[in-house]
Amino acid sequence: MDDDGLPTLAVWKFASCDGCQLTLLDCEDELLAVAGRVRIAHFLEASRAVLPGPYDVSLVEGSITTPEDAERIQRVRQMSRTLVTIGACATAGGVQALRNFADVDEFTSVVYAQPRYVSTLATSTPIAAHVDVDYELHGCPIDRRQLLEVITALLVGRKPNIPAHSVCFECKQRHAVCVVVAHGTPCLGPVTHAGCGALCPAHQRGCYGCFGPMESPNAAAEAGLLRATGMSEADIVRAYRTFNAAAPAFVELSRVTVGPPPAAGPGEVETERR
Amino acid sequence: MTHRSDRTLDVRALARVEGEGAMHVRVRGGAVEDVRLEIYEPPRFFEAFLRGRRYTEPPDITARICGICPVAYQMSACAAIEDACGVRVDGPIADLRRLLYCGEWIESHTLHIYLLHAPDFLGYPSALELAKDRRDLVERGLALKKAGNAIVELLGGRAIHPINVRVGGFYRAPAPSELAALARTLRVALDQALDTVQWAAGFEFPDFHHDHEMLALTTDGRYAIEGGTVATTGGLTFGPGDFEQHVIEEQVPHSTALHARLADRGRYLVGPAARYTLNRRWLSPLAREAADAAGLGEQCRNPYRSILVRAVEVVYAVEEALRLIDAYEPPARPAVDVPPRAGVGFGATEAPRGILFHRYGLDAEGLITTARIVPPTSQNQASIEDDLRRFVAARLDFDDERLTAECEQAIRNYDPCISCSTHFLDLTIDRG
Ligand code: SF4
Ligand code: SF4
Ligand code: SF4
């Protein structure tokens, strides 16, 4: 707490697209109210004014991909009482973690004529691989309502109420027709963390997993389900290796490419999982 | 600190820009020796890991290059892939794409005008500080930005990284009734957009002009957004397929973003000022009137006035969105089929910050063999550095703090998007 008695909020960026911190500026109706209840002490995308730490709450966007950033995150941790990672980059390495499955030197040479000028690590790793994290918010990008819930909860000192169930659950909550059952469309919803409100199924599209894995997904059942919709093994591996490529559960799921297709439809898959 | 003939100015983390970068200025013997815009945003290697992905994936994947202009990435990716597959998308689906893009222009320009740029002109460190004195202004900006986001959310499913865009069109097309509700919001937004132009016209603009060649897409009959022919103020014209013959990208040691130049011609500028200068006659009468009243002439060659061009483009985008909604007939199907075939495709669209070029090579199965992406900010780097060199030279008597603040503002004129170009300002002034 500083002199005004307002808690201080800092926002940090590592390798990312800015989408998750932009989510805060996209809270058009709430932004000024939030700004009245916290002191924004470090948020370069929004302000030149920077107050010295320590900070009560730090929101961290982005993954660690350079030696400099591996050191910078240690300093951010030391300056932060509570550290919350926002988004798939910070929580699971992000889309840039696709390098983890490839040769980063070869990647560099594809993009840069003079790879030696470029300082980069061979991997993109989540923040929790480097420092203790108090809270992780999923999504690529994070959901605005979930972000506001975390900020308000932390302000009053309670635990944020963020459900850990799957997108299937949200699909049913909004009475969306299951695209697997209705159209045979592949869907990662049964293994994907809730939070978006089942956006893709509501738009007649299968979930592509942008919120990352839910807690303890049923790997075999999902592999069978995806295969039954006609996906090849390569398609399945690629589906997991996108925006949350370094999330351990998705790494694991991408390896489950053998086994019989399930007898059951997605409704039963969901039941079995629970 | 002032009046030293040798000094170094360093902005070590530029604020209120999208991404991370730094600026380094070296002054020797009272003259500007070197100006470098350093982009130290860590590279994310999109062009490398797109190889081997299916041709349907770039709209979702390349959206993640930038949270502020994901629609631009999705639209250029779709255009390039459809080009490779020999499919043309027109009619109501093309209109819906233009409508979606209008939403991104409104949202992105308004974010830049109100939250990133206007505080410079008004002497505040941020819009949140401005809101303490002029809450009404910031609320107007947020409402206008929200109207842009409302378009993107309705057509795209969400404001950041839309999920409803696919090669060939959309997963789901909106019902006319859904668009009617949007039109009500946009009619209010039109007044807010006109007020924004008038408000920004009252700012004080330093006297500064550049002579860079300007480059933008043009289309006959309307202001170019989602496609067109490339044209420059120097009289060059070429299609997106010839982009790489004319635009050469080079790596420079001080930036993770590549520098672009026009073959045999050198630096050039893309973005709202370039679009306005090349396409002004295609603005709607109302937007053109607003531009005239704001004192914008036939061309915009003062980078500080780019905030006015953005405001005028918001007026245009709101009007255009209303027109498209008015004329909307839902398509029979939300997307056309795009069967894969081996080949190379090119796509260029006008992102809020300027032309965004994509090229993909596909194999017969539709797997990507090569990918190339040229974002707007990397095209502007050389022109920005050139402007800064002249800008600093005229202000060497300022102390470091003031010069730094003014350089930051000068850079913000270009609305650089550093995540895209790989991000901003850390300023170093080396005065020896
Ligand atoms: S998680 Fe997604 S939206 Fe968030 S910063 Fe990373 S790429 Fe952007
Ligand atoms: S599997 Fe069916 S129920 Fe589950 S998220 Fe996908 S569409 Fe919804
Ligand atoms: S349905 Fe899946 S892919 Fe779509 S927004 Fe939700 S979590 Fe992301």
Please report the ipTM that was assigned to this predicted complex: 0.90
- Are A118 and A228 part of one and the same domain? no
First-to-last alpha carbon distance for chain A, in angstroms, is 42
Cβ neighbours around A32 below 10 Å, total: 17
Query: Which tens digits make up the pLDDT trace of B115-146?
Result: 988 988 998 888 888 999 999 999 999 999 99
Shortest CB distance from A15 goes to which of B44, B111, B160? Answer: B44
Which of A3-7, A121-125, A132-136, B304-308 has the least mean pLDDT?
A3-7
Residue A110's pLDDT band (cuts 50, 70, 90):
low
Residues 6+ apart with CB under 8 A from B362: B55, B81, B84, B85, B340, B341, B342, B343, B344, B345, B368, B369
| C-alpha B160 – ligand 1 centre gap (Å) | 9
Measured CA to CA, the distance from residue B26 to residue B428 in angstroms comes to 8
Measured CA to CA, the distance from residue A155 to residue A137 in angstroms comes to 16
Which residues in chain A are contacts of B16 at CB distance < 8 A?
Answer: 44-48
> Does B242 have pLDDT greater than 60?
yes
Q: What angle (nearest 5°) sits at the alpha carbon of residue B160, between those of residues B82 and B81?
A: 10
pLDDT at position B424: 39
Average pLDDT, chain B: 88
Which of A203-217, B7-21, B210-224 has the least mean pLDDT?
B7-21
What does the CA dihedral B382, B386, B389, B395 come to, rounded to 10 degrees?
A: -120
Q: What angle (nearest 5°) sits at the alpha carbon of residue B133, between those of residues B128 and B137?
A: 70
Residue range B24-40: average pLDDT? 78
Domain span at residue B317 reads 53-399
Measured CA to CA, the distance from residue B178 to residue B88 in angstroms comes to 27
Token couple for B352:
């809020």
Measured CA to CA, the distance from residue A253 to residue A241 in angstroms comes to 10
Query: Which tens digits make up the pLDDT trace of B72-123?
Result: 999 999 999 999 999 999 999 999 999 999 999 999 999 999 998 898 899 8
Residue A2's pLDDT band (cuts 50, 70, 90):
very low
In a domain, A271, yes or no: no
In a domain, B391, yes or no: yes
- Are A62 and A197 part of one and the same domain? no
Closest-CA residue, ligand 1 atom 2, reads A140
- Are A18 and A139 part of one and the same domain? yes
Binding-site members of B for Ni(2+) are: 66, 69, 417
Average pLDDT, chain A: 86
Run of H or E including B18? none
Q: How far is CA A207 from CA A94, A176, B6, in A?
A: 17, 12, 58
Measured CA to CA, the distance from residue A252 to residue B174 in angstroms comes to 38
Nearest CA in chain B to A109: B48
Measured CA to CA, the distance from residue B43 to residue A111 in angstroms comes to 9
Shortest CB distance from B48 goes to which of A111, A199, A208? Answer: A111
In a domain, B42, yes or no: no
In a domain, B384, yes or no: yes
Which residues in chain B are contacts of A141 at CB distance < 8 A?
Answer: 67, 158, 160-161
- Are A74 and A44 part of one and the same domain? yes
Residue A115's pLDDT band (cuts 50, 70, 90):
low
Note the residue count of chain A: 274
Residue A47 to residue B129, Cβ atoms within 8 A? yes
In a domain, B189, yes or no: yes
Full DSSP string of B305-333: GHHHHHHHHHHHHHHHHHHHHHT----SS
pLDDT at position A264: 39
Domain-ending residue, one of A125, A156, A187: A156
| C-alpha A19 – ligand 1 centre gap (Å) | 5
Note the residue count of chain B: 432
In a domain, B80, yes or no: yes
Residue B20 to residue A13, Cβ atoms within 8 A? yes
Nearest CA in chain A to B15: A44
pLDDT at position B13: 47
pLDDT at position A133: 97
In a domain, B16, yes or no: no
Residue range B147-172: average pLDDT? 98
Residue range A167-178: average pLDDT? 93
Which of A197-211, A215-229, B167-181 has the least mean pLDDT?
A215-229
In a domain, B428, yes or no: no
> Within 13 A of B151's CA, how many CA atoms are on the CB side?
33
Query: Which tens digits make up the pLDDT trace of B259-298?
Result: 788 988 889 999 999 999 999 999 999 999 999 999 999 9
Please check whether residue B151 is in contact with residue B182, taking contact to mean a CB–CB distance below 8 angstroms.
yes
Residue A112's pLDDT band (cuts 50, 70, 90):
low
The count of structural domains within chain B is: 1
How far apart are the CA of B66 and the nearest CA of chain A, in angstroms? 5
| C-alpha A209 – ligand 3 centre gap (Å) | 6
In a domain, A204, yes or no: yes
CB pairs under 8 A between A and B: 181
In a domain, B62, yes or no: yes
pLDDT at position A111: 66
pLDDT at position B414: 81
Ligand nearest the Cα of residue B162 is 3
pLDDT at position A116: 56
CB crowding B50-69: b at 16 or more within 10 Å, else e = bbebbbebbbbbbbbbbbbb
Residue range A146-175: average pLDDT? 91
Token couple for A175:
């009475």
Dihedral sign, Cα of residue B97, residue B100, residue B102, residue B104: negative
> Within 13 A of B62's CA, how many CA atoms are on the CB side?
36
Residues 6+ apart with CB under 8 A from B184: none
Residue A118 to residue B256, Cβ atoms within 8 A? yes
Residue A241's pLDDT band (cuts 50, 70, 90):
very high
- Are A225 and A138 part of one and the same domain? no
Instruction: State what percent of residues in chain B have pLDDT above 90.
Output: 65
Q: E-assigned strands of A87-198? A: 135-137
Token couple for B90:
């027109």
Nearest CA in chain B to A113: B251
- Are A204 and A231 part of one and the same domain? yes
- Are A150 and A176 part of one and the same domain? no
CB crowding A159-197: b at 16 or more within 10 Å, else e = ebebeebbbbbbbeeeebebbbeeeebbbbbbbbbbbbb
Per the listing, tokens 């002199």 go with: A3
The count of structural domains within chain A is: 2
- Are A152 and A172 part of one and the same domain? no
In CATH, what number is assigned to the domain containing residue B322?
Answer: 1.10.645.10
Closest-CA residue, ligand 2 atom 3, reads A168
Domain span at residue A176 reads 167-256
First-to-last alpha carbon distance for chain B, in angstroms, is 12
- Are A240 and A118 part of one and the same domain? no
Task: Give the position, in ligand 2's atom list, of the atom nearest the Cα of A171.
Answer: 8
Per the listing, tokens 């594809």 go with: A110
Which own/partner contact pairs does A118-121 have at CB distance under 8 Å and 24+ positions apart? A118/B43, A118/B256, A119/A66, A119/A67, A119/A68, A120/A65, A120/A66, A120/B42, A120/B43, A121/A64, A121/A65, A121/A66, A121/A67, A121/A70
Nearest to A99 by CA among B54, B44, B257: B44
Q: Which residues does ligand 2 sit against, CB inside 6 Å?
A: A 167-168, 171, 178-180, 187, 189-190, 198, 201, 207, 266
Which residues in chain B are contacts of A118 at CB distance < 8 A?
Answer: 43, 256
Please check whether residue B93 is in contact with residue B170, taking contact to mean a CB–CB distance below 8 angstroms.
yes
> Does A106 have pLDDT greater than 90?
no
Per the listing, tokens 């090569």 go with: B370
In a domain, A192, yes or no: yes
Residue range A162-176: average pLDDT? 92
Nearest to B405 by CA among B5, B14, B128: B14
> Does B256 have pLDDT greater than 70?
no
Residue A26 to residue B129, Cβ atoms within 8 A? no
Dihedral sign, Cα of residue B308, residue B314, residue B320, residue B322: negative
In CATH, what number is assigned to the domain containing residue A132?
Answer: 3.40.50.700
pLDDT at position B423: 29
Residue A17 to residue B135, Cβ atoms within 8 A? no
Token couple for B427:
């300023």
pLDDT at position B40: 61
| C-alpha A125 – ligand 1 centre gap (Å) | 14
Measured CA to CA, the distance from residue B37 to residue B427 in angstroms comes to 9
- Are A132 and A44 part of one and the same domain? yes
Q: Are strands B259-262 and B247-250 parallel, antiparallel or unpaired?
A: antiparallel
Residue B45 to residue A94, Cβ atoms within 8 A? no
pLDDT at position B8: 54
Nearest to A209 by CA among A130, A107, A138, A112: A138
Q: How far is CA B196 from the centre of its chain?
A: 19
- Among the ranges A109-118, B206-215, B352-361, which has the highest mean pLDDT value? B352-361
Residue B431 φ/ψ, nearest 5 degrees = -100, 20
Query: Which tens digits make up the pLDDT trace of A48-98?
Result: 778 888 999 999 999 999 898 999 999 999 999 999 999 999 999 999 998
- Are A37 and A62 part of one and the same domain? yes
Instruction: State what percent of residues in chain B have pLDDT above 70.
Output: 89
Which residues in chain A are contacts of B405 at CB distance < 8 A?
Answer: 48
Please check whether residue B23 is in contact with residue B385, taking contact to mean a CB–CB distance below 8 angstroms.
no
Per the listing, tokens 């022919």 go with: B229
- Are A70 and A137 part of one and the same domain? yes
Pocket residue to mutate for ligand 3, from A188, A192, A222, A244, most atoms within 8 A of Cβ? A192
> Does B407 have pLDDT greater than 90?
no
Residue range A133-140: average pLDDT? 96
Q: Which residues does ligand 1 sit against, CB inside 6 Å?
A: A 16-17, 19-20, 61, 87-89, 94-95, 140-141; B 64, 67, 161
> Does A262 have pLDDT greater than 90?
no
